[in-house]
């Protein structure tokens, strides 16, 4: 097979989130950037996603297409839809939106304060079926489909089961190669068996080889067993999900797949996350000027948050969801101890999530305004300033498929304290005698998952900061020089696409499919 760099592929990305159109987490960052970077290397890419209300608020231009369809749903209902089109920012990668207000014109993407929307199974089965219709009517054949998370994970099975579409004999070839990307295995899309009816397929296809899982319908399991390849967002997470601890009940299936499961670290947008040009900062800086300029940013942030201005006090930053997964059962005891003992540290926290954690942080901040500032909610600008101003960034996740904040921290010269799991293990090199000697250290690992280990790791990091200044300088600057841009990750994805296509087809078929220029 020819070198994947000279082959032109037609790749379709199916997702429910992509920046700037819809976002609840890291999935949006991946799908808002990866297709554009892959397209820049010479491939044709397109994105298909639901027309959530947020696409209008994105400010991106929207246009109607001549694509519309009607899909038969349970209860002899015919549900129609149309397709809108825009493009990803900074390029010409088209984004096709499945517009069906009954399903997608809602205040949020997946649920409200009462929990998940009760009809989520029907909503995303409809989306998958509608995406099939869009792919059938694209201008050129689809070489590979990349699905993302449970909401799109029925697509590989639907492709294999497809006989015809809403428009006569149109169909996707049953051997169309598919890749399923798992961004977080804990979210699987599990529903009662009766929701299978919405697929429009005969009940004899509700089998353990595809849709059925312990008597119910499990979207993610369906995708895992029917996709040609499963890709996670870090190599370590790809190994972890094959274990009972992190496999969320699917580990036996994932273990059985062998090398059909792999991991590729997410990239970050280095145009947006760049301390040298970041418009949100009080002072821009780079690897040559960070020592003075990070202090200036710290002073500005301390003033903004109402903390005492002191460039020498260690500022510990946290940005993200307030949830057990992120290690808050460790973080809160450590914060309480620092506050109780009046440790010479300050904490800057930005996030939202668990109401109990939100309430405790708000109370602790009100009682200890000189040491703790907690912003409940989200502010992109404040997130940038916390990354730029902090000395340490604490991220003791219980599990972390990839993680992005540690990558932002590295770029901004903020040293991370992390658990050795998933993408954190793959991106942060622990500071120890060996890594110091071979110039690879970029952060600090917890020795165990408990509050004492977190306190010990923070203590060791602060010891190095104050008493091993040259080592600290090397750790900071080594992290800032790391390249976590999307270029390297996109190249790995293209190699995976080419390999998947090659294994899916016979050699002659692969040559025909991949030789199109």
The tens digit of pLDDT for each residue in 286-303 reads: 999 999 999 999 999 999
How many domains does the chain fold into? 2
Q: Count of CB atoms within 10 A of residue 325's CB?
A: 15
- Note down the domain range covering 325: 290-481
Q: Which residue has the higher pLDDT, 177 or 517?
A: 177
| Residue 280 placed within a domain | no
Q: Quote the Cα angle for 473-474-475, to 5°.
A: 90
User: Are residue 335 and residue 231 in the same domain, yes or no?
Assistant: no
Q: Tell me the pLDDT band of 168, cut-offs 50, 70 and 90.
A: very low
273 lies in a domain? Answer: no
For residue 246, pLDDT beyond 50: yes
User: What is the pLDDT at residue 26?
Assistant: 86
Q: 445 and 301: one domain?
A: yes
Give the sign of the dihedral formed by CA 14, CA 497, CA 46, CA 506. Answer: negative
Average pLDDT over residues 340-365: 96
pLDDT band at 174 (very low <50, low <70, confident <90, very high): confident
Within 10 Å of residue 230's Cβ, how many Cβ atoms?
A: 25
Q: Are 20 and 58 in contact (CB under 8 A)?
A: yes
Provide the edge-to-edge strand list for the sheet that holds 190-191. 190-191, 216-218, 212-213
Per residue in 401-454, pLDDT tens?
Answer: 999 999 999 999 999 999 999 999 999 999 999 999 999 999 999 999 999 999
Domain match, 457 and 506 both: no
Whether the pLDDT of residue 506 is over 90: the answer is no
Average pLDDT over residues 478-501: 96
pLDDT surpassing 50 at residue 110:
yes
Q: What is the pLDDT of residue 51?
A: 98
Structure confidence at residue 504 (pLDDT): 84
DSSP-assigned letters across all residues of 296-351: HHHHHHHHHHTPPP-TTS-EEEEES-BSGGGTHHHHHHHHHHHHHTT-S-EEEEEE
Same domain, 433 and 358: yes
**What pLDDT sits at residue 343?**
95
SS3 label, residue 467: helix
User: pLDDT band for position 508 (50/70/90)?
Assistant: very low
Quickly state the pLDDT bin for 24 (edges 50, 70, 90): confident
What burial class does residue 198 get, using C-beta atoms within 10 Å of its C-beta: 0-12 exposed, 13-18 middle, 19+ buried?
A: buried
Residue 513 predicted with pLDDT over 90: no
| Residue 35 domain-assigned (yes or no) | yes
Strands 44-50 and 63-73: unpaired
Q: What percent of the chain has pLDDT over 90?
A: 89
Bridge partners for 213 per DSSP:
216
Is 279 within a domain? no
3-state helix, strand, coil in the chain (%, to 5): 40, 20, 40
390 and 406 assigned to the same domain = yes
Q: Are strands 261-263 and 229-232 parallel, antiparallel or unpaired?
A: parallel
> What per-residue confidence (pLDDT) applies to 170?
64
Q: Are 21 and 55 in contact (CB under 8 A)?
A: yes
The confidence score (pLDDT) of residue 130 equals 97
Asked if 229 and 351 sit in the same domain, the reply is no
Q: Is pLDDT of 167 > 80?
A: no
Q: Please state the rounded mean pLDDT for residues 121-143.
A: 95
- Per DSSP, 143 falls in state S
Same domain, 509 and 465: no
Q: Tell me the pLDDT of the chain averaged across its residues.
A: 93
Interatomic CA distance for residues 452 and 450, integer angstroms: 6
Q: Is the pTM of this model over 0.85?
A: yes
Residue 505 has pLDDT above 80, yes or no: no
How many CB atoms sit inside 10 A of residue 115's CB? 8
Q: Please tell me the total number of residues recorded for the chain in this structure.
A: 517
Q: Are residues 214 and 119 in the same domain?
A: yes
Position 166 pLDDT exceeds 60: no
Q: How many alpha carbons lie under 13 Å from residue 241 in its C-beta half-sphere? A: 33
With a cut of 90, say whether residue 479 has pLDDT above it: yes
Query: Distance between CA atoms of 441 and 470, rounded to whole angstroms?
Result: 13
208 and 192 in a single domain? The answer is yes
- Is there a single domain that holds both residue 468 and residue 503? no
pLDDT at 132 over 60: yes
- The better pLDDT of the pair 513, 313 is held by 313
Residue spans of alpha helices (H) in 61-154: 101-104, 120-136
Distance CA 336, CA 364 (A): 8
174 and 137 inside one domain: yes
Does 180 reside within a domain? yes
**Residues 434, 319: one domain?**
yes
Q: Which token pair is 407?
A: 């990558």
The CATH number given to whatever domain includes residue 222 is 3.40.50.2000
Q: What's the confidence (pLDDT) of residue 14?
A: 98
Query: Residue 473 annotated as binding?
Result: no
**Is residue 396 domain-resident?**
yes
Answer yes or no: are the C-beta atoms of 188 and 248 closer than 8 Å. yes
d(CA 7, CA 307): 55
Over residues 238-260, the mean pLDDT reads 97
CA distance 368 to 337: 12
With CA atoms as reference, report the closest residue to 228 among 164, 165, 155: 155
Q: How confident is the model at residue 163 (pLDDT cuts 50, 70, 90)?
A: low
């Amino acid at each position: 097979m020819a070198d994947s760099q000279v082959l032109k592929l037609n790749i379709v990305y199916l997702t429910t989130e992509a920046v700037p159109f819809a976002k609840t987490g890291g999935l949006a960052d991946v799908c808002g950037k990866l297709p554009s970077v892959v397209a820049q290397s010479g491939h044709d890419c397109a994105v298909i996603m639901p027309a959530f209300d947020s696409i209008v608020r994105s400010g991106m231009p929207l246009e109607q297409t001549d694509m519309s369809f009607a899909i038969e749903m349970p209860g002899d209902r015919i549900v129609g839809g149309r397709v809108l089109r825009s493009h990803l920012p900074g390029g010409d990668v088209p984004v096709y939106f499945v517009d069906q207000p009954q399903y997608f014109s809602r205040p949020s993407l997946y649920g409200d304060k009462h929990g998940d929307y009760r009809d989520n199974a029907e909503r995303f089965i409809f989306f998958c079926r509608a995406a099939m219709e869009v792919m059938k009517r694209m201008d050129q054949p689809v070489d590979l489909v990349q699905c993302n998370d449970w909401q799109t994970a029925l697509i590989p099975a639907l492709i294999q089961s497809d006989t015809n579409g809403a428009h006569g004999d149109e169909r996707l070839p049953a051997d169309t190669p598919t890749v399923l990307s798992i961004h977080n295995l804990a979210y699987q899309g599990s529903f009662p068996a009766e929701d299978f009816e919405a697929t429009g397929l005969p009940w004899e296809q509700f089998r353990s080889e595809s849709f059925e899982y312990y008597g119910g319908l499990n979207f993610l399991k369906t995708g895992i067993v029917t996709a040609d390849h499963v890709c996670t967002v870090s190599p370590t997470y790809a190994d972890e999900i094959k274990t009972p601890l992190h496999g969320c009940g699917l580990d036996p299936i994932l273990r059985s797949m062998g090398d059909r499961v792999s991991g590729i670290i997410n990239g970050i947008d280095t145009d947006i996350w760049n301390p040298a040009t970041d418009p949100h900062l009080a002072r821009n800086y780079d690897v040559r000027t960070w020592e003075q300029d990070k202090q200036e940013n710290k002073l500005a942030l301390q003033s903004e948050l109402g903390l005492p201005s002191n460039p020498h006090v260690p500022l510990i930053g946290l940005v993200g969801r307030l949830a057990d997964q992120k290690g808050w059962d460790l973080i809160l005891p450590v914060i309480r101890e620092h506050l109780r003992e009046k440790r010479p540290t300050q904490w800057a926290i930005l996030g939202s999530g668990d109401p109990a954690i939100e309430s405790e942080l708000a109370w602790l901040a009100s009682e200890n305004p000189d040491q703790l500032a907690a912003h409940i909610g989200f502010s992109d600008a404040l997130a940038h300033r916390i990354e730029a101003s902090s000395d340490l960034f604490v991220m003791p996740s219980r599990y972390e498929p990839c993680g992005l904040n540690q990558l932002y921290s590295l770029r901004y010269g903020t040293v991370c304290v992390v658990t050795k799991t998933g993408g954190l293990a793959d991106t942060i090199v622990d500071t120890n005698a060996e890594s110091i000697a071979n110039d690879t250290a970029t952060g600090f690992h917890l020795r165990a998952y408990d509050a004492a280990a977190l306190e010990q790791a923070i203590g060791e990091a602060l010891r190095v900061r104050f008493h091993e200044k040259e080592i600290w300088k090397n750790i900071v600057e080594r992290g800032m020089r790391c390249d976590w841009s999307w270029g390297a990750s996109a190249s790995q994805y293209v190699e995976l696409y080419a390999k998947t296509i090659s294994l899916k087809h016979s050699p002659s078929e692969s040559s025909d499919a991949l030789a199109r220029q």
